[in-house]
Chain A
Amino acid sequence: MVHAAGNGTGVSCRDVRKHFGAGEAKVDALRGVDFETRFGELSFLVGPSGCGKTTLISIIAGLLDRTGGELTVLGTNVDELSPTERVLFRRKNLGFIFQQFNLLPALTAAENVAVPLIAAGMSRRPAVDRAGALLAELGLGSRLRALPSTLSGGQQQRVAIARALIHEPRLVVCDEPTAALDHGSGEAVMSLLAANAVRPGRTVIVVTHDTRVFHYAHSIASMDDGRIVNVTRPNGARDHSTPLTAVTA
């Protein structure tokens, strides 16, 4: 079953440019990127190392300033936001999944997941309780108090997924979520991500090299040398809203 096309644009990039350095040391990381994601879709961004994928998602996530072009994220022109407003916008609307998980090693799994809620002002106890409930949904109910160092790579990435979703963000940015995992774990993580992150009012961007998980994508934008060179919508793109229990069982 093909997933229904998204309704509305989540992220829109028009001629986005970014260079680092100046003069002879100037490096053009993005040379005019046009890129769009839709709500309810899983958009993949693929391409060789150094092609500008990470720079593009950093700009989309508001972690990096662009040099030129137009950018609208979740209907908001980020240029109109002050630095503090950008942080608050990010805190409220964005969820992140990193290649190296970036969990806080001193916090338990549940506490790690609770961090975005606590950062937003929720007190610790209800935040951890809510995090525990989400982790239980993701099949980690028995590891709530485990430290990241005692979890497997797949479990750590599941915790990272929970952390990215706990505050119901409208944009989830994933950077190589399966790169540090073996095939089985990577497949499980992508399945979990597709089943839990994709929602009608949310758009998900996944940067990946891992061709084995391309079948989860609603759209695949290929980048090369700082530009989007091709956008495909794979045939047979499926409905990823498979019940979670079926995935984690």
Chain B
Amino acid sequence: MNFVALRMLTGDRAKYFGLVFAIAFCTFLLENQTTIFANIMKRTASQILDVTDAEVWVMDPQTEYWEQTKALKDTDLTRVRSVPGVQWAVRLFKGNPVARTPEGKFAVCFLIGIDDATLVGAPRKMLLGSWDRLREPDSVIIDQAGYVLLFPDQPLALGRTLEMNDHRVTIVGISDASAPFASLPVMHTRYSAAIDFLGRERTQLSFIIARPASTVSADELTARIHERTGLRARTTQEFMWDCIRYYLQHTGIPVNFGITIAVALIVGAVVAGQTFYLFTIENLKQFGALKAIGTTNVRLIGMILLQAFTAGTLGFSLGTGMAATFFEIFLHKLATRGIVLMWQCVALTAACIFFVVIVASVLSIRRVLVLEPAAVFRG
């Protein structure tokens, strides 16, 4: 009877496409909104994740997330280095100076100062130039989005200059740094240059980044550093989640996205579920005839489930394709760069669609099971 079920499903093209597209748009909305939300949250930790050399971040005990830094003492670096299991540890500076172009355009930017000697923390994905050139005096590497913001409509080129805190700095590289949460240019320079560009304060050591020895795990090392120095030490992943958690708890972003996602889920579920339910209701007479003819309830349940899962699978696949196309297109736009369709969002959406299909199926099955086959005689 499977072919009968499928022909019943696809027989009325308008209803069939309506059902499949209802599920597809529900899928698209859910995947779209959850992915954008997850990627925006991930952006809060972009600069942490971009530092691929280090696995451990050390900071002031009160620091909760990337944006919030209280400078460490210079001696803290020595203390961290002395903790057993530290392969190496270097300084990292983070500040927000104003960069100004010769044409007068300016922007607040993220300035990341990396260790002068090792250049640990330099951006690894370069579009133009090389991070080695940071050794040149008063040099910076700027991310592509920042470059376009400060030098609109101009081709990517090295050698352009910026003014920061009365310092004339030269762009020696253009990176493909991950987009930060706030759309500010991301600049990398040497630690010693960074504190010059921002203006000296008594202490300016934002973070210490370290790598554990091969015999020690990052988790173990963070525990040791905290125990021996009293400083807060986090693995890269832990620090990323600290940032995400902070934004979830202290901003309206999750509420706004939550509402959008909930609306997408409710509207999508109601539309898709109701469409399938109505589809079954409109076919009750046919199910009644099949029941009268001698089709067993088990067979009818199988037919409804086959119809539901066929429509659900097609709709979900179509919706996922639409979402993938959407993100593929916007992946290459500067404002939305790095936002990719996450498998977790696809899985979550699949679970939601599965739930909707199951609920709609159960309701439909219930109607068919309680249907009196004698109803077919009533015209």
Contact = CB atoms under 8 A, between A and B. Distances in A.
Interface in A93-128: 94, 96, 98-100, 102, 104-107, 111, 115-116, 118-120, 124
B343 interface: no
Interface string B281-319: 000011011101111110100000000000000000000
Interface stretch (B177-185, B272-280, B368-376): B368-376
Contacts of A64: 372, 374
A99 B12 CA distance: 23
Contacts of A175: 377
Given A63-B374, A106-B10, A96 B293 contact: yes
Given A99-B379, A119-B1, A124-B3, A94 B294 contact: yes
Nearest to A114: B4
Nearest to B375: A63
Given A58-B374, A116-B294, A102 B11 contact: no
A17 B299 CA distance: 31
Interface in A185-236: none
Given A57-B377, A100-B379, A107-B7, A63 B372 contact: yes
B296 A106 contact: no
Interface stretch (A6-14, A68-76, A82-90, A138-146): A82-90
Nearest to A61: B292
A33 to B, nearest CB: 16
B294 A87 contact: yes
B294 A92 contact: yes
Contacts of A238: none
Contact of B8 (A61, A91, A106, A124): A106
A105 B293 contact: no
B377 A120 contact: no
A115 B4 contact: yes
B378 interface: yes
A116 B376 CA distance: 16
Contacts of B373: 63
Contacts of B290: 104, 115, 119
Given A106-B8, A107-B7, A115 B377 contact: no
Interface in B320-379: 372-374, 376-379
A54 interface: yes
A61 B292 CA distance: 8
A108 to B, nearest CB: 9
Nearest to A118: B1
A102 B286 contact: yes
Contacts of B296: 84, 87-88
Contacts of A115: 4, 290, 293
Contacts of A105: 11-12, 286
B299 A119 contact: yes
A120 B297 CA distance: 13
B371 to A, nearest CB: 11
Interface of B: 1, 3-4, 7-8, 10-12, 285-286, 288-290, 292-297, 299, 372-374, 376-379
10 contacts: A54-B377, A58-B377, A63-B292, A63-B374, A63-B377, A84-B296, A87-B294, A88-B296, A100-B379, A104-B290
